[in-house]
Amino acid sequence: MTDTVERKSPAESISRVVVRFAGDSGDGMQLTGDRFTSSSAIFGNDLSTLPDYPAEIRAPAGTVNGVSSFQVHISDHDITTPGDAPNVLIVMNPAALMADIGRLEQGGLLIVNRDSFVERDLTKVGYLTNPLEDGSLSNYRVVEVPMTSLTIQATVPLGVKNRDAERSKNFFALGMISWLFSRPREPTWEWIESKFRDELIRSANTAAFNAGYHFGETTELFDHAYQVESANMRAGEYTNISGNIALAWGLIAAGQLAELPVFLGSYPITPASDILHELSKNKHFGVRTVQAEDEIAAAGMALGAAFAGHLGITTTSGPGVALKSETISLAVSLELPMLLIDIQRGGPSTGLPTKTEAADLNIAMFGRHAEAPLPIVAAYSPSHCFHAAIEAARIALKYKTPVILLSDGYIANGSEPWLLPDVDTLPDIRVPFTTEFNHIAPDGSAEFWPYLRDAETLARPWAIPGTPGLMHRVGGLEKQDGSGDIDYTPENHERMVHLRAAKIAGIAKDIPQVTIVGDDDADICILGWGSTWAAIDAAVQRSRRRGMKVAWVHLTHLSPLPANLGEVLKRFPKVIVPELNLGQLCRIVRAEFLVDARPISKVQGLPFTAVELETALDNATGPGWATDFTMGASR
């Protein structure tokens, strides 16, 4: 497969491009985007992705509800977001055009599968006239390609049935875009070889891919190809990682670092299920996974495993957090190490199962009956999920407490290049099991007190079944401080409530203090947590380039809050808090520190764009601050 045709003109070098693939749920757009991402990663670009797909597995074909999109931002420099407006939009049908055309930048390149712009498909989504003909797309550079028929022509000679032939059209699109952006073809060839068992499907996809590539090269439709040079990234070995895979690997690593077997109890729920899948694939690490009968059982199994001496974990999304609440409260009372991982999505209730939101901070912080504080860790990027999982496990094991780890659909499914960490530098998070008596009874005999606390951490001992002599019972009833015997006395209960709170509050001494990114002497501080990191990073960089002074503090620990957070925030007259909710962290810092923090809200099932936060910064420094409490970015 040598390239026999000379390029019309050399590829134009550009520093970054945002490409969005959009089609029907059945068109394979996620796969196409993922392959384009992988070959870009291997080429050495920095990148960030945003998969955007419907909750229905197969929504009615050709409808706007069934549109599945994948956006990828590739760059020759360090980037953190999947880009605001795409520069290139590939649409496979009229529904995809209708759903996504509004996102394309003015003057952007629109590549259309012309074969689908026929009356039946147009009327299905309510186009009265063909947008390819009525002039409505005059603000874009439109390239019409008969992708379906070209794919059929390329594959039918191989023996593929007409009916099946068009299914390879996503590979045609991938080939065309691969040429347009000078991507190497070898990674995709290799991937097709390894992915498809059926020889006919393999050759059809390869043929469609090559046909698309050659079409781009030979056709007059494109003036020339583009080249995004490899990014000047730190030297080292990289992999392309999504947040859910990073999180699963972080959990496996945590088990290795703690020298504890990993036990996952989980019930399938979008967008968390990939963690269950990935851990189930890695049984050779001694990882036990049980797909439980429900969310409650999943949490119960993890807690039981923790009692038995494993690193007990349960993974879920918002509705599952609600169901697990009672079990987490029991874990608070039993003071056993356990992880609850919440991959947040749009809610309430089933809400937007495949879209992102970060509105579970309240339930993580307060969603248990009675006084039941626990530590909360939040991941801020796909690769950070790896380290956040280890940190959550470290805290859980050291303080014998359930820990909630928050991620969200955006970083869970989004991906980025990850400079692999040196495994030898990962922290040692081992904690010893208790194997000896720890108390002398009045009669002089040695005994075991399950609630005799460590003076420094206030954690109780972890003596697991099988340990001679240390048999003990724990339960949800209030326990006597020290002995752990049932105790309903008023003074003891008050003491225990305060001890449990003090234990969690004390973790503030054991987590990093916040540091300010940007200008210490700014008037405005932007306070972030979780996946807003990428958009804040880009917005802060752009605003500072324009001469604005901005300070940025990003939290990875939300409970307890870092010890210096209040003092830092009080240095700034204005604090804005961008969140994919209506201001949950904002309310907490106002209550905790009496600072004039204002919420920047977005609840569209989508992450912030950098432009939105740049605008929010502009608004906050303008006269609006005095009159508008909610500086909403999306209004």
Partner 1 sequence: MSISEHVTISMKPVPTGPVTAKKDWTSDQEVRWCPGCGDYGILLAVQTLMPELEISPENTVFVSGIGCSSRFPYYMDTYGIHSIHGRAPAIATGIAVARPDLDVWVITGDGDALSIGGNHLIHALRRNVNLTILLFNNRIYGLTKGQYSPTSEVGKVTKSTPMGSIDQPFNPLSVALGAEATFVARTHDLDRKHMMETFRAAHAHRGASFVEIFQNCNVFNDDAFDPVTGRKNRLEMMIDLHHGEPIRFGDEGHAGVVMGTDGRLQIVEVADVGVDALLIHDAHRDDSSLAFALARLSNEAAQATGSWAPTPFGVFRDVDRPDYGSMVAAQLAAAAAAKRTSKSEASTGRPENGRDDLRALLRSAGTWQVG
Residues 6+ apart with CB under 8 A from 378: 388, 405, 406, 407, 529, 530, 555, 556, 557, 558
**Contact call for residue 221 and partner 1 (CB under 8 A):** no
Q: Does 474 bind partner 1 (CB under 8 A)?
A: yes
Applying CB under 8 A, the span of 81-89, 91-99, 134-142, 227-235 interacting with partner 1 comes to: 227-235
Complex with partner 1: residue 159 or 469, whichever CB lies closer: 469
Binding segment for partner 1 among 40-48, 268-276, 594-602, 624-632 (CB under 8 A)? 40-48
Minimum distance of partner 1 from residue 606's CB (angstroms): 26
- Residue 263 binding partner 1, by CB under 8 A: yes
Residue of 16, 38, 153, 628 that binds partner 1 (CB under 8 A): 38
Pairing of strands 376-378, 338-344: unpaired
Taking the complex as a whole, the smallest distance from the CB of residue 254 to partner 1 amounts, in Å, to 10
Which residues fall within 8 angstroms of residue 320, CB to CB, at 6 or more apart? 267, 269, 272, 295, 298, 342
Pick from 411, 396, 267, 272: nearest CA to 332: 396
- Residue 382 makes contact with partner 1 by CB under 8 A: no
Which of 448, 449, 339 minimizes the C-alpha distance to 399?
A: 339
DSSP code for 615: H
Residue 248 three-state SS = helix
Phi, psi of 528 (to 5 degrees): -125, 165
Query: In terms of CB distance, is 479 or 598 closer to partner 1?
Result: 479
CB of 323 to partner 1, least distance (A): 11
3-class DSSP state of 232: coil
Residue from the set 310, 345, 400, 557 that interacts with partner 1 by CB under 8 A = 310
Among 19, 152, 173, 292, binds partner 1 (CB under 8 A): 292
- Binding positions for partner 1, 598-617, rule CB under 8 A: none
Would you say the C-alpha torsion 18, 22, 26, 27 has a positive or negative sign? Answer: negative
Q: 574 Cβ partners below 8 Å, 6+ apart?
A: 523, 524, 525, 596, 598, 620, 621, 625
256 is an interface residue for partner 1 by CB under 8 A: yes
Give the one residue of 26, 286, 319, 351 binding partner 1; rule: CB under 8 A: 286
For position 36 contacting partner 1 by CB under 8 A, the verdict is: no
**Residue 623: both structure tokens together:** 């006269």
Region binding partner 1 by CB under 8 A among candidate stretches 63-71, 207-215, 232-240, 315-323: 232-240
When asked if residue 482 is in the footprint of partner 1 (CB under 8 A), the reply is no
Rounded Cα distance between 184 and 178, Å, is 7
SS3 state at 502: helix
Kindly indicate which of the ranges 229-237, 348-356, 556-564, 577-585 contains the residues binding partner 1, using the contact rule CB under 8 A. 229-237
Task: Count the site residues for partner 1 by CB under 8 A.
Answer: 85
Interface with partner 1 includes 625 (CB under 8 A)? no
- Compute the CA torsion angle 493, 499, 505, 506 (nearest 10 deg): 180
With CA atoms as reference, report the closest residue to 569 among 541, 542, 588: 588
**253 lies in the binding site for partner 1 (CB under 8 A):** yes
468 in contact with partner 1 (CB under 8 A): yes
Within 191-220, which residues bind partner 1 (CB under 8 A)?
none
Choose, by CB under 8 A, the member of 101, 165, 252, 514 that binds partner 1: 252
Cross-strand partners of 131: none
Q: Which residues, numbered 403-462, are part of the site for partner 1 (CB under 8 A)?
A: 419-421, 423-424, 435-438, 440, 444-446, 448
